[in-house]
Amino acid sequence: MSSKSLLAEMRQVQLAIDLIELGARLQVLETETDLSRARLIRLFKEIRGMSPPKGMLPFSTDWFITWMPNIHSSLFYNTFLRLQKDQGCERMEAFISAYRLYAEQVEIDGAETVLGLTRAWTLIRFFESDLLQLSACTRCAGHFVAHAHSPTHDYVCGICQPPSRAGKTRKRQQSVADRKPAKASPLPLDHRMA
């Protein structure tokens, strides 16, 4: 094996290790690395001390639009974009850094890690498949995850206008008339999404 291909393989292994440590499912590892399934399973067992869980990944875009998941997803996705645009990070490098920053921020805020790593990965895949878009909030100007092709002219985010029964997630695309006035932000996240 040439030193060049050895280096490339070491990078692949490092990527897999980073992803496993952050909680990636096997499907994420198989998609994002060139390593064999058997090797990935071995790595997974070594790092996590258990076999990778079986089962399908969550496939619906709706989860990302519900209230609290939307706030967390938007925070993560804005960070992911910024790392690529401003820092020149490559896609997976930006993904791992953005996820670490998100997890750190949630810990600092004393909040729950609503967005797991595999969900975060599904989120960027949905953007890459044009199933989701970022919509600018007309009140705070922050950018939030929304269904692709949804109208943006009167969009108000879940921080500026939380659901009346905050805590129970519900879809945002409902009539504005039956909403109560906006309450205080549940998390001080809004300034990071502008």
Binding residues for Zn(2+): 137, 140, 157, 160
Q: Token pair of 57, please?
A: 């990944």
One residue of 39, 82, 100, 139 binding Zn ion per CB under 5 A:
139
Annotated binding site: 137, 140, 157, 160
Rounded CA-CA distance 139/162 in Å is 13
User: What residues numbered 146-175 form the site for Zn ion, per CB under 5 A?
Assistant: 157, 160
- Give the number of residues in contact with Zn ion, rule: CB under 5 A: 5
Binding range to Zn ion, per CB under 5 A, among 39-47, 91-99, 137-145, 169-177: 137-145
Task: Please name every residue paired with 133 in a beta bridge, in sequence order, or none if there are none.
Answer: 146
Q: Does 19 bind Zn ion (CB under 5 A)?
A: no
52 versus 142: smaller Cβ distance to Zn ion = 142
**Smallest separation (angstroms) from Zn ion to the CB of 1:** 53
Rounded CA-CA distance 191/194 in Å is 6
Q: What is the phi/psi pair of residue 4, to 5°?
A: -70, -45
One residue of 26, 140, 146, 193 binding Zn ion per CB under 5 A:
140
Footprint of Zn ion (CB under 5 A): 137, 139-140, 157, 160
